[in-house]
Structure 1
Amino acid sequence: MLLLLDNYDSFTYNLYDYFLQCGAECEVIRNDELDVSTVLSKYKGIIISPGPGTPENAGCTMEILEKFSDKLPIFGVCLGLQAIGQFYGATLKKANYPMHGKVSEVNCTVNHPLFKSITPPLEVCRYHSLIVEDFEELPINVIAETENGEVMAIEHQTLPIWAVQFHPESILTPQGLKLIRNWLSCFSLHYTTKL
């Protein structure tokens, strides 16, 4: 069972539906209603949903990262990427141009498992006015970015943590379902190699 941490976003149930379409069992719980003490006993992984505001104002999101980033696989979407980046020390700042419902082409790391069978260029839908940068000295790899260098996807160097700044669950991200399926493969591989 996966925990989908709902940061009060209108896209949360679209994301939930994509995970169900990929065969995953998922439970949606709002960021101010989760009993954090039950997470390890109930869930095998965590999805941090998009949402308004900043990571500090997203209920228990930062607490989840503090307690479980080294214990469970995590996938962040939009605000989820911002929270993961900030948790590891990246800089969160206002973007030069807010992107709300805008489509961008993203350059992805070739042969990365998150982008397996995804045909370039990856067109994605973005809904954000904040960006994360300054990953150079951190245990994070940037695995996708826009042409002007805005970070669009990251992975932890040693832990099973991945995140995307865009919305894979949007109809304007045509290969989004494939990306969710790829994350589930990365998630499954983590458990297979851990046994």
Structure 2
Amino acid sequence: MKAILALEDGRLFEGRAFGASGTTTGEICFNTSMTGYQEVITDPSYRGQIVAMTYPQIGNYGINPEDAESSAPHVRGFVIGELSPVASNWRSRQSLPDYFSQHGVVGIEHVDTRALTKHLRSRGAMRACLTTELSAEEAIKTAQASPSMEGMDYVQEVSTEAGYIWQDDSRRFALPNASTGQLETYLELPPIKHRIVAFDFGIKWNILRRLRQAGFEVDVVNSRSSAESVLAKNPDGIFLSNGPGDPAALGYIHEEVKKLIGKKPVFGICLGNQILGHVFGGKTYKLKFGHRGGNQPVKDLRSGRISITSQNHGFAVDAESLPSNVEVTHLNLNDDTVEGIRHKDMPVFSVQYHPEAAPGPHDATYFFEEFASLIDQTK
């Protein structure tokens, strides 16, 4: 079946549909990860977006429940160069087209993703329409009529309705190695040392897994939870998750988080970093085409250490807007944007990228241990 990807500036890409049929709109963006398409598809931070993968062939290892980052896909549409005709992996339970058909996601292949990426890099992320039923002219008009990402609150769409204690299997997979005495496929979890509350703004399951692996019991709460209800749980610390949309549109969250500062140690990731920027009195702005992929170099200004990081965000904290008691701790080496901040007087810190990866490198996993050490220091 023929499909059309139409951008709001009139640029058209034709290809072949896979998965569901129909029409969808969203902000078109690109991801440079070479693996991990399933994690990308199920990341709630992609709510409201049509994602193009720059890696040429997608779908070769299928879909499996263990690699999901949420219970369903969140991308509005999916754009690739070539769909693998075979899903070959011992963990695969379903092909990518079958998964998209099951969940109503429109995909398009045979697109020149290199040309699309260069166009977005030059013109910036923009609204788009992906369709199997509209004409080219209709698709362009539909893209132009769709809502902008700026000012959008998608957090309410992806946050859990009911709170819960994370209890899913969080053991880390490891290949057996007789020479080291590692004979089991999964490593045993450490005992629980700290109890924390995690705000679900669109939290990835691998964040919850990593927190449990670092010795945390995680009580997940809705994004609209009040500061009073969180403090009533008397947690050892508070975690602010990743999530979709415009951080400036989340004033109701800023107000509640502000009441928590100084009461408990706080750690934020991605949207959590941007929320803290607003809580401290700073501002955020929209990046031209965002950072999405597993190859972003970040410098820790405190140590000089450089990590290759996994990222997924379209907004950034404005360093010039931050007060003097907030320190920029990390910078992106590609464009000098803020990648981490910390309060100089209170136990609060955050990073813009994803230390839990999924997909991506594990250079920054140490932040979960850093959070645990911060809690130990403040007890």
Name the amino acid aligned to 1:39.
V
| C-alpha distance 98-44 of structure 1, shift in aligned 2 (>3 A) | same
User: 1:37: which partner in 2?
Assistant: 228
User: Which runs of no fewer than 5 residues in structure 2 stay unpaired?
Assistant: 1-194
Name the amino acid aligned to 1:146.
N
1:87 aligned to 260, 271, 279, which one?
279
User: 2:349: which partner in 1?
Assistant: 162
* Residues 130-189 of structure 1, C-alpha deviations (whole Å, 9 max, x = no match): 011124543210111012311111100101000000011113131232221122112211
User: Which runs of no fewer than 5 residues in structure 1 stay unpaired?
Assistant: 113-119
User: 1:186: which partner in 2?
Assistant: 374
* Residues 1:4 and 2:198 aligned together: yes
* Residues 95-132 of structure 1, C-alpha deviations (whole Å, 9 max, x = no match): 133112342111103349xxxxxxx4211111000011
Provide the TM-score with structure 2 as the length reference: 0.45
Q: Distance in 2 between matches of 1:88 and 1:110?
A: 20
- Would the aligned equivalents of 2:355 and 2:364 in 1 still touch at CA under 8 Å? yes
- Would the aligned equivalents of 1:45 and 1:74 in 2 still touch at CA under 8 Å? yes
**Which residues of 2 match residues 32-71 of structure 1 at below 5 A?**
32=224, 34=225, 36-42=227-233, 43-58=235-250, 61-71=253-263
* Residues 39-84 of structure 1, C-alpha deviations (whole Å, 9 max, x = no match): 2231221100000113354585313322111211111110011011
Q: Distance in 1 between matches of 2:251 and 2:209?
A: 23
Q: Distance in 2 between matches of 1:60 and 1:151?
A: 24
- Would the aligned equivalents of 1:46 and 1:73 in 2 still touch at CA under 8 Å? yes
CA RMSD of aligned residues (A): 2.0
Name the amino acid aligned to 2:348.
I
1:138 aligned to 296, 311, 324, which one?
324
- Would the aligned equivalents of 2:227 and 2:260 in 1 still touch at CA under 8 Å? no
Matched position secondary structure for 2:357:
coil
Q: Distance in 2 between matches of 1:54 and 1:136?
A: 18
Q: Distance in 2 between matches of 1:69 and 1:36?
A: 10
2:365 aligned to 168, 177, 180, which one?
177
Structure showing greater radius of gyration is: 2
- Following TM superposition, where does structure 1 have runs of at least 4 consecutive aligned residues deviating by more than 4 angstroms? 56-60
Name the amino acid aligned to 2:199.
L
Q: Distance in 2 between matches of 1:28 and 1:136?
A: 29
Name the amino acid aligned to 1:158.
D
User: 2:268: which partner in 1?
Assistant: 76
Q: Percent identity?
A: 25
Higher relative contact order (CA 8 A, sep 6+): 1
Name the amino acid aligned to 2:230.
V
- Would the aligned equivalents of 1:108 and 1:144 in 2 still touch at CA under 8 Å? yes
User: 2:297: which partner in 1?
Assistant: 105
Name the amino acid aligned to 1:132.
V
| C-alpha distance 36-68 of structure 1, shift in aligned 2 (>3 A) | closer
Matched position secondary structure for 1:94:
strand
Provide the TM-score with structure 1 as the length reference: 0.84
> In proportion to residue count, which structure has more helix?
1
